[in-house]
Amino acid sequence: MYAQSIDLLRHLAFFSPKLDPTSLPSEEDADIRKFLKSQSPDTSTCLLSELPEFISGAKRLAVPVYTIWGSSEDVRVVEKFASSELHVPNLHIVGLASDTPCPLITCPGGLKIRLLGLGGAFIVPKLLDHGASMTSSIGGMVGATWSTLLGVGELLCNVRDTYAVDEIRVFLCHNSPLKEELLCHLAHTLRADYVICGGLHFFYGLSFNHFAVTPSFETYVSALGQRSAAFAAVWQRLRHSNDLTSLTPQKLELLDLAANIFLTVPRLKDEEINGNGLVKLNHAENEALRNTTAVLFQRLWYFNLPDMTHGNLVLSWKNGRLGSEMSSEGFDLSNRKRGAGNAPRGGWKERERDPVLKNTPTGPAEPGSASSKDHIVEGPGVWVPVGGSEDLIRGFFPPEHRANITQVVIKMKSMKGSKPFSMIFFDTEEQADAALAAIDAAAGSASRIKKERKGRPRPGRGGRG
């Protein structure tokens, strides 16, 4: 990957499987480039990725691996895989032109699994933006990649003629469909039986369907309509731009195919069937679409994978059933055990005086060492499951929110098995809430640290991931 900024270089170094994050320089002005050169004087050795070793054959994949590209790739590397300029034996990137777009895997016992993939982060305002990509079907730049509307159109076109009743269809995507109803609607259109998605720094896997986590079908339809209207606004604004009108007729047809899917969604009421730039439906068409969606609302199942270092999902086929086993190492709660012998028996008021609980956010790390500051501010803040340098942590926030940060407290590993984390503090609750809403997805499962009346920070729920 070609790193063009210090923040990006720090980010890559922190998550590299070849570097210990605790060994990285923590000072804001530390030269990360000099550090990396000092770790490997041989310029032919890459410390940021194992990919060169797999390309050269020094390392090999023992079994076939099917995957999609994620949200933090180098778009030029993805394009080289798409054009077959790069190749790794046993690595299949689902959805790229050089691979079978929708590979069919025949398992022992005759089970057939059709894989359908959409790579990159699904961001509605970026669906018509290909960034620095040389192809408009893969959107991105150095260190950030996203899905495009043309990529969705290619997926729909490839899937259109592949349906067979004896297949199990699995849709692979980066974003969780719980956060983006348009992905659910796309999965319905693809006739998927299962959806497998991921996310940065998930400590537990999730298994769910919308019927289990959504208050009602009408709630889902309402949310889907809002997301469809948001897409319609982007589509109406950009569909006649120069970048799109210069595409070939075949690509324009794929764009229309994808746009039509996102604009054709079930409505709540007859009077809402038309308008907002959505495809016009009569009453019968709307009822038919609602009925089909209602069935998939209950039957389509989702698996949200944990981080690879924290757990896994195993699917097994036996007696005509597809079973699942999910394993996760979970949060490190060893700090709770430390005070278990003399834990207070009273209510919460008495427990508040326990020093183990003071300034300790609920999360996967052991507090108490390697803080960027000696004194922790008691105020509203944001907790992220990432350590490293203060410069890296601040880089997760846009400039307008970065300016409101009053203190960054970084906790690195303090014992075997513990995980690093950071606490970012602000002057007001409003500033902390706004910063959490705008935080980069690379920060992982961030959450709020709320300030109670007596001034003690208290971890809150919610946030990205």
Domains of the chain: 1-49 (no CATH), 59-327 (no CATH), 361-459 (3.30.70)
Question: Among 32-36, 422-426, 435-439, where is mean pLDDT lowest?
Answer: 32-36
pLDDT value at position 347? Answer: 43
pLDDT at 4 over 80: no
pLDDT value at position 167? Answer: 92
How many other CB atoms are found less than 10 A from the CB of residue 465?
A: 20
Please give the model's pTM, rounded to 2 decimal places: 0.71
pLDDT band at 26, cuts 50/70/90? Answer: low
pLDDT value at position 351? Answer: 41
Q: What's the mean pLDDT in 286-295?
A: 93
pLDDT band at 282, cuts 50/70/90? Answer: confident
In whole angstroms, what is the distance from residue 143 CA to residue 12 CA? 9
Give pairs for 12-18: CB < 8 Å, separation 24+: 12/48, 12/49, 12/143, 13/47, 13/48, 14/386, 14/387, 14/388, 14/392, 16/47, 16/48, 16/49, 17/50, 18/47, 18/48, 18/49, 18/50
* CB-side neighbour CA atoms (13 Å) of 416: 0
Q: pLDDT digit string (tens) for 145-197? A: 999 999 999 999 989 878 888 999 999 999 988 889 999 999 999 999 999 99
Q: What's the mean pLDDT in 112-133?
A: 92
pLDDT at 118 over 80: yes
Q: Are 213 and 293 in contact (CB under 8 A)?
A: no
Q: What's the mean pLDDT in 40-61?
A: 82
In whole angstroms, what is the distance from residue 191 CA to residue 169 CA? 7
Q: Write down the mean pLDDT value for the chain.
A: 80
In whole angstroms, what is the distance from residue 306 CA to residue 200 CA? 8
Neighbouring-strand partners of residue 112: 106, 167
In whole angstroms, what is the distance from residue 444 CA to residue 384 CA? 7
Bridging pattern class, strands 194-197 and 311-318:
unpaired
In whole angstroms, what is the distance from residue 401 CA to residue 382 CA? 12
pLDDT at 9 over 50: yes
Element holding 169 (H helix, E strand): strand 167-173
Helix spans in 330-441 (H): 334-338, 348-351, 390-394, 399-402, 429-438
Cβ burial, residue 165 (10 Å; 0-12/13-18/19+): exposed
In whole angstroms, what is the distance from residue 29 CA to residue 25 CA? 9
pLDDT value at position 2? Answer: 44
pLDDT band at 373, cuts 50/70/90? Answer: very low
Q: pLDDT digit string (tens) for 62-71? A: 999 999 998 8
AA letter at 325: E
- Give the relative orientation of helices 32-39 and 6-15 as an angle to the nearest 10 degrees: 40
**With the C-alpha atoms ordered 446, 452, 454, 458, is the resulting torsion angle positive or negative?**
negative
* Whole-number percent of the chain with pLDDT over 90: 38
Task: Name residues whose C-beta falls within 8 Å of residue 329's C-beta, 6 or more positions apart in sequence.
Answer: 203, 310, 311
- Give the relative orientation of helices 217-238 and 249-263 as an angle to the nearest 10 degrees: 150
